[in-house]
Amino acid sequence: MNDIVLYIGIAAAVLGVGFFICSRISTKKTLDRVEELIDKAIEGDTFQESFSEERTSRLETKLTEYLRASGVSALNVKNERDKIKTLIADISHQTKTPIANLVLHGELLKESDLNPEQEECVDALLRESDKLRFLIDALVKLSRLENGILSLNPAKESVSSIVTEVASEMRGKADKKGLYIKTDLPEEDVKASFDRKWTTEALINIVDNAVKYTQSGGITLAVKNYEMFACITVKDTGIGISEEDIPKIFGRFNRLESSRNEEGVGIGLYLAREIVKLEGGYMKVSSKPGEGSEFAVFLKKE
């Protein structure tokens, strides 16, 4: 009796081992097949396959259909991106000449003998033309960034150098309002990884915003060195921002009630934050009404 039980146990063990081996082989074949289908999808191959009605084959069929649909979706996205790219190029190209003509004729009118009412109209024409030009340029840049048409290329650059460049470029606009622009740079040059062209764009938008909302005093650009980041601060002596309004200032076309009387379209800070974010950095704001604001741009060192 004991021998029979022993034989039955051995037989069950052999069958279990055999079943396990067969199962592993079948699983390996299925995984190999799935891997093959995914490899074909990555390479962009079309699927010309016939499948049986076995369950594993049905799963392969569903996976094939999913991968094929994903390939079509990716192609559609690429086509749509190409259309957007063409549209943006057309908008940028077709609007430059009309806006330039508006500015030119406005400036010619301003040199004529005008009465006070006419002068006011010409000044309004020039202001709105300049606003329209800035708006279109900003929207084109933003669309290129958001759609991946134009990518950023960060490289190790001098932070003090870009701060000096931005301060120099914005000093003329500040002078017209009787404001100062000064820099506070460390003795040792700090380097960070950023796209110089686009980071300059971001900083100019921030400084331009500071000039716009500062009536007396001025703006100070400083560089601070941290372990993983280089920080550029833009501190003004302007009207300031309430704590509850700080999250709103980075919204698209979002303008605070306290700034309605100032020129602007409400996209400069949004564009600046998107640029810094795409470089792997971030921005912080500290401000109090009547005490000015400080914008801090953190750029990765590596």
Q: Give the tens place of pLDDT for each residue, 178-210.
A: 999 999 999 888 999 999 988 998 999 999 989
225: amino acid identity, one letter: N
Average pLDDT value for the chain: 77
* Mean pLDDT calculated for residue range 93-102: 76
Strand-by-strand arrangement of the 229-236 sheet: 180-184, 218-225, 229-236, 293-300, 282-287
149: helix, strand or coil: coil
Catalogue the long-range contacts made by 177-182 (C-beta closer than 8 Å, 24 or more residues apart): 177/211, 177/214, 177/215, 178/216, 179/211, 179/214, 179/216, 179/217, 179/218, 179/219, 180/217, 180/218, 180/219, 181/207, 181/211, 181/218, 181/219, 181/220, 181/221, 182/218, 182/219, 182/220, 182/221
What is the DSSP annotation of 30-96?
HHHHHHHHHHHHHHT--------SSHHHHHHHHHHHHHHHHHHHHHHHHHHHHHHHHHHHHHHHHHH
Among 50-54, 86-90, 160-164, 252-256, the range scoring the smallest mean pLDDT is 50-54
d(CA 221, CA 69) in angstroms, rounded, equals 52
d(CA 140, CA 145) in angstroms, rounded, equals 9
> Which tens digit of pLDDT belongs to each residue from 13-66?
555 555 555 566 666 666 666 666 666 655 555 444 544 445 556 666 666 666
Q: Provide φ and ψ at 234, rounded to 5°.
A: -120, 105
Widest distance between CA atoms in the chain: 126
Helix (H) or strand (E) holding 298: strand 293-300
> Which tens digit of pLDDT belongs to each residue from 210-247?
998 899 999 999 999 998 999 999 999 998 888 888 87
User: In sequence order, which residues have a C-beta less than 8 Å from that of residue 264 and are 6 or more positions away?
Assistant: 209, 212, 255
Residue 211's pLDDT is: 92
* Contact by Cβ (8 Å): 138, 198: no
Tell me the domain boundaries of the chain.
2-75, 155-300
> Using CB atoms within 10 A of its CB, is residue 115 exposed (0-12), middle (13-18) or buried (19+)?
exposed
Angle between helices 116-146 and 55-110 (to 10 degrees): 160
Helix (H) or strand (E) holding 167: helix 159-176
d(CA 236, CA 220) in angstroms, rounded, equals 6
Place of tokens 């191959």: 45
**Please, which pLDDT band fits residue 177 given cuts at 50, 70 and 90?**
very high
Pick the CATH number of 155-300 from 3.30.565.10, 3.40.50.300, 3.40.50.1100, 3.40.640.10: 3.30.565.10
Q: Is the pLDDT of residue 250 over 50?
A: yes
